[in-house]
Amino acid sequence: MKIAVIGTGYVGLVTGTCLSETGNDVTCVDINKQKVQMMQQGQLPIYEPGLELLFLRNIIQDRLRFTTDLADAIKDAEIIFLALPTPPGEDGSADLSYVLGAAKDIAKLVTSYKVVVTKSTVPVGTADKVKAVFNEHTDVEVAVVSNPEFLREGVAVEDFMKPDRVVVGTTDERARKLMHDLYSPYVRQGNPIIFMDERSSELTKYAANSFLATKISFMNEIANLCELVGANVDMVRLGVGSDDRIGKRFLFPGIGYGGSCFPKDVQALAKSAEDNKYDFKILNSVMEVNTIQKKILVEKLKKYYGGDLKDKTFALWGLAFKPETDDIREAPALYIIDELLQAGAKVTVFDPEAINNVKYLLEDKIAYADDQYEALEEADALLILTEWSVFRNPDFNRIASTLKEKVIFDGRNLFDLDKMIDLGFYYNSIGRDL
Ligand code: UGA
């Protein structure tokens, strides 16, 4: 099939690349000339495990192309994916100007039947708005389909190639058949392609992310309670998660959810409920709990140091909002750095992939280390903020001899409690006894 993907951010690039991998002819469009040139030369603008291999293979075999020329990209395309940003507006609702703007540009160019697919996370009713744009600007028949993505950063390629499910919102029979044929190679193991109406599909995405965010906030509250009643959240997690109805996954407490999706989507769903005069009480609490959880390590530090962090130096391991990505959008680490600096502390950071993004953002406000042990030099304590594998089994002797004191505050529960006691560390984690 001939496909165009508009927007080469995280979602667009993974979608375009993975669609070319099953033999489709894919043209990706972006307005950023520099980025397009970079990709034409086989350079990936993002870090995503496994993506480079597929990206290069399909470029070399001429199934994956990049251009700034929208007209050229959509000329022969049967399906056009919109993978454009929907940033939160001032009131928390999703800003649709990129999506609707692209729809208008496409409408002015189409000469034959097209399926236009919204991949971006868009509020309920967006498909109707996109349809209205086409109705206004062209007489050519265009089917507007909602097809939300469920890609996790860090494992996005795997999620695309073997999805748990594909959700397609359309009432257009021709579009349904095309989408079925397009996705069939990805669900050979029997996972479903679930067809539904556009509005249900749009809401499915928000409901999925908001449910997952709720699961995390719930576990974070259980963890906080564990600390007060002397229980161990690791045990509670296992006991609770072994019930199939609850499930073992996504129950890890920590320093709050971050990233470009959960904070934005929970807020947008709450706003959309409010717009429809529905008070979505759980979501409001989920957001409130997350705001508090992002500050929990700093609160613990203040308690440990008797309220004063002035002139203390902290080594931070991990900046990305989660491992296997260089993405720092809404990363809890940024909130923690901000709080530490405000309290007069000094900060030295290390992250295997995200360090340059933080350097670009914070410049000389903090210090940057070339490796995880260098970050510990002159530091009063170590703070672990992202659960990168490389932090899981460190040289504890080296940590002990480099830090001024043997103090670790772990926001990701990486280490065994008994082991840390044996090693003589003061080890403060989330939801577990000291
Ligand atoms: C999330 C969803 O998982 C994807 O299905 C969805 O497609 C994507 O958003 C999106 O809307 O585009 P992602 O943001 O990449 O994916 O990351 P997650 O792995 O879901 O993690 C989100 C946050 O939750 C991270 O800050 C992570 O540290 C935190 N988390 C996750 C926990 O605190 N505990 C857990 O048990 C799991």
pLDDT digits (tens, 9 = 90+) for 228-242: 999 999 999 999 999
Is 183:19 a contact under the CB 8 Å cutoff?
Answer: no
**Residue 68's pLDDT is what?**
98
Query: Taking 90 as the threshold, does the pLDDT of residue 87 lie above it?
Result: no
Separation of CA 305 and ligand 1 centre (Å): 32
- The whole-angstrom separation of Cα 372 and Cα 384 is 11
pLDDT tens track for 127-183:
999 999 999 999 999 999 999 999 999 999 999 999 999 999 999 999 999 999 999
- The whole-angstrom separation of Cα 133 and Cα 215 is 37
Q: Which atom of ligand 1 lies nearest, measured to the CA of 154?
A: 15
- In the three-class reduction of DSSP (H, G, I as helix; E, B as strand; rest coil), residue 5 is classed as strand
Query: Taking 90 as the threshold, does the pLDDT of residue 405 lie above it?
Result: yes
Architecture of domain 2-196: 3-Layer(aba) Sandwich (3.40)
Q: Which residue is it, tokens 């290390």?
A: 350
Which pTM does this prediction carry? 0.94
Domains 2-196 and 294-428 share a fold: yes
**Residue 200's pLDDT is what?**
98
Q: What is the DSSP letter of 76?
A: S
Architecture of domain 294-428: 3-Layer(aba) Sandwich (3.40)
Is 145:112 a contact under the CB 8 Å cutoff?
Answer: no
DSSP string computed for 366-388:
SEE-SSTTGGGTT-SEEEE-S--
Read off the amino acid at residue 377.
E
Query: Taking 90 as the threshold, does the pLDDT of residue 52 lie above it?
Result: yes
329 within ligand 1 shell (Cβ under 6 A): no
pLDDT tens track for 280-314:
999 999 999 999 999 999 999 999 999 999 999 99
Average pLDDT of span 346-368: 97
Instruction: Specify whether domain 206-292 bears CATH 1.10.1040.10.
Output: yes
**Residue 92's pLDDT is what?**
73
| Token pair of 17 as six digits | 């690349």
- The whole-angstrom separation of Cα 50 and Cα 300 is 38
Strand arrangement, sheet containing 25-29: 64-67, 25-29, 2-6, 79-82, 114-118, 142-146, 166-169, 193-196
- The whole-angstrom separation of Cα 50 and Cα 155 is 8
The whole-angstrom distance between residue 399's C-alpha and the CA centroid of its chain comes to 31
pLDDT tens track for 243-272:
999 999 999 999 999 999 999 999 999 999
**Residue 294's pLDDT is what?**
97
Q: What is the DSSP letter of 259?
A: T
Per the annotation, does 332 bind a ligand?
no
Domain boundaries, the chain: 2-196, 206-292, 294-428
- The whole-angstrom separation of Cα 335 and Cα 257 is 12
- In the three-class reduction of DSSP (H, G, I as helix; E, B as strand; rest coil), residue 114 is classed as strand
**Residue 167's pLDDT is what?**
98
Q: Which atom of ligand 1 lies nearest, measured to the CA of 205?
A: 11
Q: What is the DSSP letter of 317?
A: E
* Res. 48 pLDDT band, cuts 50 70 90: very high
Is 261 a residue of the active site? yes
Query: Taking 80 as the threshold, does the pLDDT of residue 434 lie above it?
Result: no
Is 235:200 a contact under the CB 8 Å cutoff?
Answer: no
Q: Whose CA is nearest to atom 37 of ligand 1?
A: 250
Query: Taking 90 as the threshold, does the pLDDT of residue 91 lie above it?
Result: no
